[in-house]
């Protein structure tokens, strides 16, 4: 079946929010666990929802931790967020070639809107599924299936692109092809362990994979 739909994770895939996320975690964790967490220790927290992460770290305090994280994150957002190389050009070419494009993320809608606006990517997407829109976050298939439904697409016609294991697992569970990105902050080898169908060294690699003429 020919690919006509491409779904993307947002953070770490389309836009580089890694430094913003790391700074937000360190700011919050320093308050609750002074001197305990360094940069390398928060890398595993990138990807899962804040609720999942903070509940595991300090049960009963997760809502206050999320509030502190988001206040810092929003304050520093536009200063620290950038897009990755070849992302804009690739999305533009895919859109012009008639592909249906969507975002599937564990971020809340207002934060997603901020990221797309500051990078100018908002105009490319017909479907955006955020944490606000689902009962089950990635790696559950629900977010991917919801985006496909909004786009009137079938799993066999789609590729799910992401920088983390839960993107790959969500796509696989939903029945799509999957693509990992080599610029994942956790490393290409880490992502390869989850056996995505494709590995992108740069976003423009999608052009050939999707069969754009």
Strands 15-16 and 82-83 turn out to be antiparallel
Phi then psi for residue 102, to 5 deg, are: -140, 165
**Inter-residue contact 15 to 121 (CB < 8 Å):** yes
Q: Which two tokens stand for residue 94?
A: 């895919």
d(CA 202, CA 199): 9
d(CA 132, CA 48): 14
- The residues annotated as belonging to the active site are 9
3-state secondary structure of 98: coil
CA–CA separation, 166 and 186 (whole Å): 13
Q: Which residue has the tokens 């809107």?
A: 113
Question: Got the DSSP string for 146-190?
Answer: HHHHHHT--GGGEEEEESSHHHHHHHHHHT-EEEEETT-TT-HHH
């Amino acid at each position: 079946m020919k690919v006509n739909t491409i779904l993307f994770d947002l953070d770490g895939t389309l836009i580089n929010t890694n430094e913003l996320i790391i700074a937000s975690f360190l700011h919050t964790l320093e308050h609750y666990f002074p001197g305990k967490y360094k940069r390398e220790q928060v890398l595993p927290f990138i990807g899962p929802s804040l609720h999942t992460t903070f509940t595991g770290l300090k049960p009963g305090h997760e809502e206050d931790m999320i509030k502190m994280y988001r206040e810092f994150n929003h304050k520093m957002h536009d200063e620290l967020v950038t897009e990755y190389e070849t992302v804009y050009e690739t999305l533009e070419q895919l859109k012009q070639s008639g592909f249906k494009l969507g975002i599937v993320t564990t971020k809340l809608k207002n934060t997603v809107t901020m990221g797309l606006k500051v990078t100018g990517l908002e105009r490319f997407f017909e479907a955006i599924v955020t944490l606000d829109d689902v009962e089950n976050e990635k790696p559950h298939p629900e977010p991917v299936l919801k985006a496909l439904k909004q786009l009137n697409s079938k799993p066999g016609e789609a590729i799910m692109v992401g920088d983390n294991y839960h993107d790959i697992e969500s796509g696989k569970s939903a029945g799509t092809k999957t693509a990992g990105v080599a610029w994942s902050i956790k490393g290409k080898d880490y992502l390869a362990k989850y056996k995505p169908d494709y590995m992108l060294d740069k976003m423009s690699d999608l052009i050939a994979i999707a069969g754009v003429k």
